[in-house]
Chain A
Amino acid sequence: MTWLLDLTPDEWNAVRLSIKVATVAMLFSLPPGILIALVLARGKFWGKTLLNGLVHLPLILPPVVTGYLLLLTFGRRGPAGAFLAEHFGIVFSFRWTGAALACGIMGFPLMVRAIRLSIEAVDRKMEAAAGTLGANPLLVFATITLPLILPGLIAGAILSFAKAMGEFGATITFVSNIPNETQTLPSAIYTFTQVPGGDEGALRLTLISIVISMAALVASEVLARRVGRRMDIE
């Protein structure tokens, strides 16, 4: 079994990078994910169907297409990419941040779906009750709605994380496959399969990938159960 943990520095970097990219992608998707889910669950406005379609687009488009669209928009010469680089010094193309952006966008529809469902399940009468007790709408959201949708938030976050751990097509199209910068686990495994004698490395990383994904899943189960017990919803 020792060969399993006997990773080369490049392979370790791929593991670390993947976890970093997935974590950042998940954390930065959460605020807009909650907002969009809220708008889709509760909003009544013209163009809601359009927004819903837009959010789900990464789910139905080939990942390569999403990656290429990102390259066009957030690449150095893309409109958004140039603007962000010039005014905020944020560069996405061929950086790990770009990988996080690609992963975040690919996982976004899954996250929004989970959160939206939990928002729709919230009893709005609870919110009305909180209002009569003096809480303004923002405080009602923070003290009633948010805690009640916590299980959905956890589910959405884990889905986004898991999606990011496995994202390949959009990432490699947008930020390529640069060791130590944008080479995440799937990219590293792909590289191993392209060189002679790379089988052992591919298998090692595959097993690690499985372990990380399983750990995330178990963690979410434990967390969700603890939240559920705390709330004791009938």
Chain B
Amino acid sequence: MTVTVDISHRLGDFGVDARFESAGRLTALFGPSGSGKTTLINLIAGLIRPDKGRIAVDGRVLVDTAAGIFVPKHKRRIGMVFQDARLFPHMSVASNLRYGRWFTPTAERYADFNAVVDLLGIGPLLERRPAKLSGGEKQRVAIGRALLASPKLLLMDEPLASLDDARKAEILPYIERLRDETKIPIVYVSHSVAEVARLASDVVVLAQGKVAAAGPTTAIMQRLDLLPAEERGEGGGVLDTAVLRHDEVFGMTVLGSAAGEIRVPLLAMPVGAPVRIRVRARDVMIATEQPTGLSALNILPGTIVAIEPGEGPAVEVAIDCNGATILARITEQSRQALKLRLGRKVFAVVKTVSFDRANTGAGLPVESDG
């Protein structure tokens, strides 16, 4: 399953000129507001007709201006979850969910009503009216409605942006299940480093309507220069790990990663479960020798592979810990005092309590078929 986009489109004095290809399970279109993410997703959904370009999903050409092809949105079989849910107010939740089914050819219906309702935990809501739902419930129903149209691709346009942190935490696991338990590829628009690092397998970074970078999440998240200034502290190394064991006495979970054991607050996940963690650059300290008498529990040996100037007094130091890259954001003064340079062996120090729900989530299962 591959999504290919090569589009140029103008809207007033704003233009989108983007070209990317992604075969990921969940591709994030990432960028600040005004970078053209939503325009791009609307182009894929068929809500906007591009001035020029080509869009293909899994080999099926949806738009090719040169060949005069434009498949209307109702024939694309692309599900869309909008930021503002857009549930139909005159229908019950159940009718909303069943809406897309009417228009799906019988042979192409793969989504099972009960399975989707279970996946999203919306069974108790079926008889209710959309006006009687909370923001998080609305968004779950909207996801279910899109899924039940048996789409070939699912687009999500900042589905969490209008929710508070508690509601976000409520929905994130459902999106993880969606990513891991269904076969539908997802294109996910977001401006949040936390969401992208937690959910995405691949990231397309957009800036001013153009693709600034594209690649696997773990690689993109290390490039702090790609992140918007206010989110730069949120960036860092993204590690795919697995639960090794739980330490019930101290309320911790021990994760195994390439970099070594990492202790995080207790997770409600079975041993062996994949976990993706984001080690925020601002949470990482650097020691030049194995520290003793230190409260931090995670001390990971590694080698400095890059030093980049950061904002203000900060520099960003990339440490290769046995193949996993961890970023540390320290001051230039510390860098000079510790004489940090490329190739030097150091220890990355991360406090257990710096991991919270925003940067710890279910990891992507290991792909068996690539």
Residues in A lying within 8 Å of B, measured CB to CB: 123, 125-126, 128-137, 139-140, 143-144, 147-148, 230-234
Is there an interface contact between A144 and B88, defined as CB atoms closer than 8 Å? yes
Residue of B nearest to A140 (CB): B74
Is there an interface contact between B79 and A132, defined as CB atoms closer than 8 Å? yes
Q: Does B77 count as interface, using CB distance less than 8 angstroms?
A: yes
Separation in Å of the A153 CB from the closest CB of chain B? 13
Q: Does B228 count as interface, using CB distance less than 8 angstroms?
A: no
Is there an interface contact between A147 and B90, defined as CB atoms closer than 8 Å? yes
The answer for the CA separation of A134 and B129 in the assembled complex, in Å, is 22
Is there an interface contact between A133 and B90, defined as CB atoms closer than 8 Å? no
Q: Does B104 count as interface, using CB distance less than 8 angstroms?
A: yes
Q: Does B256 count as interface, using CB distance less than 8 angstroms?
A: no
Is there an interface contact between B131 and A129, defined as CB atoms closer than 8 Å? no
Cβ contacts under 8 Å, A139 to chain B: 103
Per DSSP, chain A at the interface is helix
Is there an interface contact between B79 and A233, defined as CB atoms closer than 8 Å? no
Instruction: Using A126-B88, A231-B90, A234-B89 as known contacts, say yes or no to A131 and B131 having CB atoms under 8 A apart.
Output: no
Cβ contacts under 8 Å, A147 to chain B: 90
The answer for the CA separation of A146 and B103 in the assembled complex, in Å, is 18
Is there an interface contact between B90 and A148, defined as CB atoms closer than 8 Å? yes
Instruction: Using A125-B84, A232-B131 as known contacts, say yes or no to A133 and B145 having CB atoms under 8 A apart.
Output: yes
CB<8 Å pairs between A and B, sample of 27: A123-B86, A125-B82, A125-B86, A126-B88, A126-B89, A128-B86, A129-B86, A130-B88, A131-B47, A131-B74, A132-B76, A132-B78, A132-B146, A133-B79, A133-B99, A133-B103, A134-B75, A134-B149, A135-B99, A135-B103, A136-B74, A136-B103, A232-B89, A232-B129, A232-B130, A232-B132, A233-B131
Residue of B nearest to A134 (CB): B103
Residue of B nearest to A144 (CB): B88
By the criterion of a CB under 8 Å from any partner CB, how many residues of chain B are at the interface?
Answer: 30
Cβ contacts under 8 Å, B84 to chain A: 125
Q: Does B100 count as interface, using CB distance less than 8 angstroms?
A: yes
The answer for the CA separation of A233 and B146 in the assembled complex, in Å, is 22
Cβ contacts under 8 Å, A133 to chain B: 74, 79, 99-100, 103, 145-146, 149
Number of A-B contacts (CB under 8 A): 74
Instruction: Using A125-B82, A139-B103 as known contacts, say yes or no to A132 and B45 having CB atoms under 8 A apart.
Output: yes
**Cβ proximity bits B145-156 to A, threshold 8 Å, 1 near / 0 not:** 110010000000
Cβ contacts under 8 Å, A125 to chain B: 82, 84, 86
Residue of B nearest to A147 (CB): B90
Is there an interface contact between A132 and B90, defined as CB atoms closer than 8 Å? no
Which 4 residue pairs are nearest across A and B when measured between Cβ atoms?
A: A134-B103, A133-B100, A129-B86, A232-B131
Is there an interface contact between B47 and A132, defined as CB atoms closer than 8 Å? yes
Q: Does B197 count as interface, using CB distance less than 8 angstroms?
A: no
Interface of chain B residues 41 through 85 with chain A (CB within 8 A): 45-47, 72-80, 82, 84
Cβ contacts under 8 Å, B77 to chain A: 134
| Cβ 8 A contact of A134, one of B89, B104, B132 | B104
**Cβ proximity bits B101-119 to A, threshold 8 Å, 1 near / 0 not:** 0111000000000000000
Cβ contacts under 8 Å, A126 to chain B: 86, 88-89
| Cβ 8 A contact of A132, one of B73, B102, B131, B132 | B73
The answer for the CA separation of A144 and B75 in the assembled complex, in Å, is 18
Residue of B nearest to A229 (CB): B129
The answer for the CA separation of A129 and B84 in the assembled complex, in Å, is 11
Cβ contacts under 8 Å, B75 to chain A: 134
The answer for the CA separation of A230 and B76 in the assembled complex, in Å, is 32
The answer for the CA separation of A85 and B130 in the assembled complex, in Å, is 52
Separation in Å of the B154 CB from the closest CB of chain A? 10
Is there an interface contact between B82 and A135, defined as CB atoms closer than 8 Å? no
Is there an interface contact between B131 and A234, defined as CB atoms closer than 8 Å? yes
* Most chain B Cβ neighbours within 10 Å, of A131, A132, A137: A132
Cβ contacts under 8 Å, A132 to chain B: 45-47, 73-74, 76, 78-80, 146
Is there an interface contact between A134 and B47, defined as CB atoms closer than 8 Å? no
Cβ contacts under 8 Å, A131 to chain B: 46-47, 72-74
